[in-house]
Every structure is written in structure tokens, then in C-alpha cells.
Chains A and B, each alone.
Chain A
Amino acid sequence: MKHHFLDQHSNLHSPVHALDPRVKIIAFFSFLFFVIFTPITQAQKFVLYGTLIFSIILISRVPLKFVLKRSLVIIPFVGFVAIGLPFLGGTGGSYNFGFFKITYSAFLIFLNLLVKSWLCVLAMITLTSTTTFSKLLNGFQRLKVPKVFVMILSFMYRYIFVLGGELAQMRRARDARTFNPSWTQSVKTAGCMIGTLFIRSYEKGERIYTAMRSRGFNGEIRLIHEFKARRADILFIAVFFSLLTLILVIA
């Protein structure tokens, strides 16, 4: 089974991959912050943000096609908002499209959402495809994210594949015994499968907890430290912040 839908390409070798995960997480969140709080009317700034993120993608050697394809996930969200646009009022003139018209301010809302969510998603894809999931978790831990959250994420990452495998097996077993199902029948089967999967995960959770207790777990999560920030990490974060500030200041 292919297990790479979360952190594909994260095992490549590049200067971006080699960075300390903490540095990348900080850079990621500050990028989001800058992008979200820049007014959409300052178009040139967004071009610069885009240039920044694309240059990082190029340095990281993650295939551009992969990044662009994956960034299409925003379409449903943006599309959903687009449906409502003709009904929004507003000022500043309007564009006519035959039956309906869209006001300038509604158009800005749309553009705002499209551009910003696309840039943010690009940044997120860059982060996850240059950092393995376990390093990412480690980075969050070092940044003092509450251990319980990190632990939950870590279990999710570990067991999503196990549950995915079980679901695939159940579907195969169902398909092997299903002939021309009616719609109601397939819905019923799907319901039973969800229920079974729920009970199985619950029981698995119990067994895992038993395994944890056997190895001395008493509710307290401990870790050992692993990375130290290198000169390259400090350089990266310094350059990254200067560029963001530069973009903010100009124009």
C-alpha cells in the first residue's frame, strides 16, 4: 500500500529539507501572518510573496507540478464562496455578467480569499513536503506546543495507515459478497462498516494503552532532545524575516 499522502517528497535532500523543523514552522506561521494581514489592494506585495514562496519551492527541489496540483484543494472552498458573490451588495461600481452582476467590493472579497488561501496552502505544502511528519512533530514539541496535542497528532499519523488498511480490507470483503446492491442497501452497509471501524479503533486504543502502560507509561509524556539550531538555520530565518519586512515596507 502507498503511504505517502501526508509527507510525500519529504525524504529528498536539499538545503530546505535540511533546515531545523522549528525554523520552518516559525517561518511558515509568520508567512501566514504577513499574507493574511496585507490588504488585498496592494497587489504588488502579493506578487512578491508568491515569488518568495516559489523560490523556496525551487530550492527545495520538490516537483513544481506536484505542488501546483496539490494546491488545487482550495478550489471547493473558494468555489463555495463564489456562489454567493452575485448576492452581495457593496459599493465601488459593479461588473455585469449577463444575468447577474458582481459589485467591486464583492469581487475584492473573492480575490482576497483566492489569493491568500492559495499562498497559504502553497506554504503549507512546502512545509509538509520538505519535513517528515515525525520531524514536524518534534519541531512542535520543541516549540512548546502542549504535549497532549502533539501526542494526539502523532497517534493520528501512526494509526491512520492501520485504519486505512482495515477499511480497505473491509471494502474488499464487502465487494466480494455484494451483487447489484440497491442504493438503500449500500448506504446500510456503509453505516455498518463505519460502526465496525469505530468499535475496532476503540478496542485498538485499549490495547495500545495497555502496551504503553507495560512500558512504564503513567500519563506523563517525556522526550529527549535531538536537534540544535545550526548557522544555516539562523541565516535562513534572518533572511526570511528581512524579506518579509522588506515586502511590507516597500510600495
Chain B
Amino acid sequence: MKAIEIKNLHYTYPDGTKALRGVNLDIKKGESVYLIGPNGSGKSTLLLHLNGILQPQRGTVRVFGMDVREKTKEVRRKVGLVFQDPDDQLFMPTVFEDVAFGPVNMKLDEEEVKKRVKKALEAVGLDEFENRSPHHLSYGEKKRVAIATVLSMEPEILVLDEPTLALDPWIKRDFIKFLEELRKNHTMVIAAHDLDLIKLSDRTYLLNNGKITRRINKKSDIFNSKITVAKL
């Protein structure tokens, strides 16, 4: 069964901006797919469709066969979406409460929530950070905690928006290693414009002007492609 199946997806924002103009994409379970594209090409809009935050205006999005419009709740349990800015993702007063937010909403019992928080924080290498406040963390730490907040929901698909943005090269190197670990037992969809992430994926596609225009096999491909920068 396909983990994600996107067919002829269109989306236009209320102000008239055509963000997606017919996206088609199939992702198998366990696969890692990277979407690269210029600013305003529709990457973030596409990601917001994967867990039903935005609903398709035309076309369909299916996650493990479930239509996101009908089974939004189930889909959100399967898809962990990590936003670009960790300050948007971390909104509770302590790291513990933030990582616990998803599991608590899933109505798990207290023991299970604590277990999951511990496991998620261990996975990102930040155990002992439970009682810290997000505003006391460094940017790299915030990025890791942001991923922990979805890992605690134990999703099968991880969707990451710009995971390496604004990280310095040293932290970024570690972070890419960490993403490689996550890749082993998750289906992953990453959207960014960082060339170093190409090696992290099974398939890389160029998203341009609301459409997937071609497959990218090596770094130089993206500079040989025609790019239209969408008007914002």
C-alpha cells in the first residue's frame, strides 16, 4: 500500500495566489522523498495538505489509503508535521508539556504519556531537558525538541519543513546524521532548498510554480532546470 498518494492537487489561497497547480506524487512506505524548490514554489502549502490542515480544493490526498478530507483525525496520528520555525512548534511553558501535548490529545493515559515523552527526548538526544523552558534553549536544541514533539505521537510518516534552515554547519552535520537515523524507521517527506539534503533521500523532485516539474538525480540538475519564481 502507498503511504502517500497525491493526485492532481490544486490549491489557491484566498488572496488569489495559485500555490499548487496539479501535483501528482506517490510515496511508498519506508521511502524518503525530498522536495526541492525556490521560495514560493508551493512546498509548504503541499506539506500542509499531508495531514489535512489544508483541504484539497481539487484532486485528492490519501494517506495509507485514507482520504485526508474524511479521516482527518486518523491521518494526523499517522503524519507528524514539523514546522519550519521551532517557535511556532513549541508553545507550552516546558519541554515536557510540549512533547506531551500530542500524546495527551490522543487521550493516552499518564504512564504511557510519560514513557513516550522520555523515549522521544532520548531519540533526539535531549533527555534531562524535560523541565526546561523553550525560551532557554539554543536554536539547534529547539529544532530537536520540535521533532521530539511529533515523535512522541509515534507517527509512521515524518514531514519536515526546512529542517536545516539557519543551522550552523557543525550543528547541521549532526542534524543530518540524526535525520538519517530517523529515516531508518519512518517514511519521510522533506521540503527545503538545501542541496545537502539530496543525499538523504531515495528520490528528489523539483517543485516549481506549484507543480512537480522533474526528478533530480544530482546537485547540478537543479541549475539546469527552468525555474519560474512565483509571484508572492
Contacts and interface: CB of A to CB of B under 8 A. Distances in A.
Interface stretch (A48-56, A62-70, A210-218): A210-218
Interface residues of B, number: 37
Contacts of B90: 158
Nearest to B114: A224
B59 interface: no
Interface stretch (B33-41, B61-69, B79-87, B207-215): B79-87
B136 to A, nearest CB: 6
A215 B149 contact: yes
A30 interface: no
Given A207-B85, A208-B91, A222-B104, A216 B153 contact: yes
B100 interface: yes
B205 interface: no
Contacts, number: 81
Contact of B135 (A158, A214, A215): A158
A157 B133 CA distance: 10
B91 A216 contact: no
A225 B150 contact: no
Interface string A157-190: 1110110000000000000000000000000000
Contacts of A13: none
A216 B105 contact: yes
B104 A224 contact: yes
A223 interface: yes
A223 B106 CA distance: 12
B149 A137 contact: no
A169 to B, nearest CB: 13
Interface string B137-167: 0000000000001100100000000000000
A: interface residue count bin: 20 to 34
A228 interface: no
Contact of B92 (A158, A161, A207): A158
A222 B136 CA distance: 25
Contact of B105 (A133, A154, A161, A215): A215
Interface of A: 3, 133-134, 137, 154-155, 157-159, 161-162, 204, 207-208, 210-218, 222-225
What are the 6 tightest A-B residue pairs by CB atom distance, in nearest-first order? Answer: A216-B105, A134-B93, A215-B102, A161-B135, A207-B88, A214-B81
22 contacts: A155-B91, A157-B93, A158-B91, A159-B91, A162-B87, A162-B135, A207-B88, A210-B53, A210-B83, A212-B91, A212-B101, A214-B51, A214-B53, A214-B83, A215-B76, A216-B76, A216-B102, A217-B101, A222-B104, A223-B104, A224-B100, A224-B110
Given A158-B135, A207-B85, A215-B150, 5 more contacts: A204-B87, A211-B81, A213-B76, A216-B153, A223-B104
